[in-house]
Structure 1
């Protein structure tokens, strides 16, 4: 296994786990993990819009990294090179 494959595997697992955690933190209909955490982090009347925007951005970034790792690994996994 080449260094590129090892780096991609670590990045794949980290981005996958982080994506799952961030998706679970999104607010749903009032009974999600986000509401349990939110009650201790901020007042529901102040700052919830900024919190959700940042959570959306982080989720999109981690999902994009996850998909990019899968595509690059599909191309380069046996040899560890892109050529």
Structure 2
């Protein structure tokens, strides 16, 4: 196994877990999983707009890293000489 392939697999695993957690932290728009984890309570209290924007920004950056890891692994797999 190539070192770059291993690094991309580790990055993909970590970003997958973090992306799942960040998506669950987002404020719900009515019902859904976010209410199960306390999203409904924070909606009643009123959440910070800055915190939500930062969470959106972090989620987008993490999703881009996740996407690039998948594309990188796909390219390595396609052009790998056996």
Q: Take 2:30 and 2:8, find their aligned partners in 1: how far apart are those partners? A: 36
Alignment of 1:28-43 (within 5 A): 28-29=28-29, 32-33=33-34, 36=38
| 1:64 match | 64
How far has the Cα of 1:38 moved from its partner? 9.1
**Structure that is richer in helix per residue:** 2
| Aligned: 1:6 with 2:11 | no
Q: Take 2:8 and 2:62, find their aligned partners in 1: how far apart are those partners? A: 14
Q: Which has the higher contact order (CA 8 A, sep 6+)?
A: 1
Structure 2: unaligned runs, 5 residues or longer = none
Structure 1: unaligned runs, 5 residues or longer = none
How far has the Cα of 1:29 moved from its partner? 3.2
Q: TM-score, normalised by structure 2?
A: 0.75
1:13-50 superposed Cα distances (whole Å, 9 cap, x missing partner) = 1111111110000001365547727968xxx44x6101
| 1:25 match | 25
Q: Take 1:37 and 1:19, find their aligned partners in 2: how far apart are those partners? A: 17
Equivalent residue pairs, number: 76
